[in-house]
Structure 1
Amino acid sequence: MMYKLTIIVPVYNEAENLERVETELANYLKMASVPASVLFVNDGSKDNSQAFIEDICNRNTAFEYILFKENRGLSAAIKAGFDHAETKLVGYIDSDLQTSPEDFNSLLEHIDTHELVTGVRSNRKDSFVKNMSSKIANGIRRAFTKDGMDDTGCPLKIIKTDYAKRIPMFRGLHRFLPAMIMLQNGRITQVPVQHFPRIAGTAKFGLWNRLLGPLMDCFAYLWMKKKYINYNVAKTSK
């Protein structure tokens, strides 16, 4: 089957969620608006996530996996997914399933006219502290990047793969994907998506990850923006 979309699912100690992930994604593949496959990226999980992942991939021909030798972080997992994808489009969803795979179809409606489409979590089901820290962090990022995005941390995105592969990733850069597409003169937009409370497993990000860490990452982004190489070929001899 010729897939057009690879859905990247980073996994770190999410064994409690993976059976539900299999069910939700397998159901989505049946209703996806383009032929899609799933790529798990196991970021060096310490629990039995890998055993679940291998069983899932054995049961489902459209599911594959990558296993890291050690934990390298969410940005590394996303980059590995970009590097291994062979489809024209890549998607990204967290394995905690606080967003719904069904909403990929809403994002796909806009991908023909944009290089990145990101979700905006409406009516978020997180704690007050998590919501406020994310709101502040998003405001800081908008001030630095001028990308106009309200929820860059939303774990539901569709990107044209050739643009995704050109993103020079570093730790924390998963929060700057829209801005990095803009550096390539790509078009970006945001679409409201559903949000659900986490019902299994534990959150991997605390106050530092959501607020103080991203502030430091903004300075890294500004340095990269200043040094970023971008060019367009006008003509070649061939």
Structure 2
Amino acid sequence: MERASLNPSPEPRLTVVVPVRNEAGNIASLVAEIETACAGLAPFEVIYVDDGSSDATPERLAEARATRPWLRVLRHAASAGQSAAVRSGVAAARAPVVATLDGDGQNDPVFIPALVAALEEAGPAAALAQGQRTGRRDGRFKMLQSRIANGVRGRILRDATRDTGCGLKVFRRAVYLRLPYFDALHRFMPALVAREGYGVVHRDVIDRPRFTGASNYGLFDRLWVGLLDLAGVWWLIRRKRPTPAVAEIGAGAAPAEAGERPC
């Protein structure tokens, strides 16, 4: 195979970021589904972030990448968690719009185009299209915990989002990189995006069972950690101050609005 065929496509319209750890059995099928789902959004790129896997995930990713010039792979030397993996992928993304989904197959890529369309239809005043799962396939106890956590979060943060834990999201990269970074950031994105003055749109997505294996990341149902994160986000929202408009003074200098929103 020619070396040039392994180079990423120029100027992608969309970057899809997929964090994975020990998901060897799910790589091939999910990559194929992403390829089919995003065909109408070309040019696109997909960034898999291998968060320190100890199974055959690196080998399966190498096999998938061999015939797909739009597939990029990043690897953490040691596991740093899902939020860190998402952050690494978004930082490396070349497109202005990023989609994320979990690497276990529970998030169906077929919904990515609808989320992209929802964000585009909302215009530059919106920065996040958040998927909200229906037909959850988790156990009853986990669903009860999730329902309680989402209820408490919604009452305190008033983020108007039923399900922030859904990995299917589409957002503007520039806005994401302005958000304060911390572990579990991806679970508070609606509130933090609103904190920056942008709108959030929602679309229902259908949940499904993971392809193979078991969950590799801790869930939001870790009560004490979740409460600490919630308190921190509440504090950040309370402490937010308006961004002043700044104009440079001088002959021939064009005014620069520091508070201008990126598209």
Report if TM-score (shorter chain) is over 0.5. yes
Correspondence list, 1:100-139, <5 A: 100-112=108-120, 113=122, 114-139=126-151
| Structure ID, larger Rg | 2
Which residue pairs with 1:14 in the alignment? 23
Which residue pairs with 1:4 in the alignment? 13
How many pairs does the alignment contain? 236
Cα displacement (A) at 1:122: 1.0
In the alignment, is the contact (CA less than 8 A) between 1:41 and 1:77 conserved in 2? Answer: yes
Work out which of the residue numbers 58, 68, 77 in structure 1 matches 2:85.
77
Cα displacement (A) at 1:227: 4.2
Q: CA RMSD in A?
A: 1.7
Cα displacement (A) at 1:232: 4.4
Structure 2 segments unaligned to the other structure (5+ residues): 1-9, 255-263
Tell me how far apart the structure 2 counterparts of residues 128 and 162 of structure 1 sit (CA, whole Å).
38
Which residue pairs with 1:92 in the alignment? 100
Tell me how far apart the structure 1 counterparts of residues 246 and 94 of structure 2 sit (CA, whole Å).
27
Tell me how far apart the structure 1 counterparts of residues 61 and 16 of structure 2 sit (CA, whole Å).
15
Work out which of the residue numbers 197, 201, 212 in structure 2 matches 1:189.
201
TM-score of the superposition, structure 1-length normalised?
0.92
Tell me how far apart the structure 2 counterparts of residues 229 and 164 of structure 1 sit (CA, whole Å).
18
SS at match of 2:175: helix
SS at match of 1:98: coil
In the alignment, is the contact (CA less than 8 A) between 1:104 and 1:156 conserved in 2? Answer: yes
In the alignment, is the contact (CA less than 8 A) between 2:82 and 2:217 conserved in 1? Answer: no
Correspondence list, 1:18-37, <5 A: 18-32=27-41, 35-37=43-45
Cα displacement (A) at 1:71: 0.5
1:37-78 C-alpha deviation (Å, 9 max, x unpaired) = 100011111112111112212220010011011110011111
- Is 1:151 paired with 2:159? no
Which residue pairs with 2:221 in the alignment? 210
Give the letter for the 2:214 counterpart: T
Among the aligned pairs, what percent are the same residue? Answer: 28
Give the letter for the 2:74 counterpart: I
Tell me how far apart the structure 1 counterparts of residues 146 and 183 of structure 2 sit (CA, whole Å).
18
Tell me how far apart the structure 2 counterparts of residues 199 and 101 of structure 1 sit (CA, whole Å).
13
Give the letter for the 1:84 counterpart: A
Cα displacement (A) at 1:199: 2.9
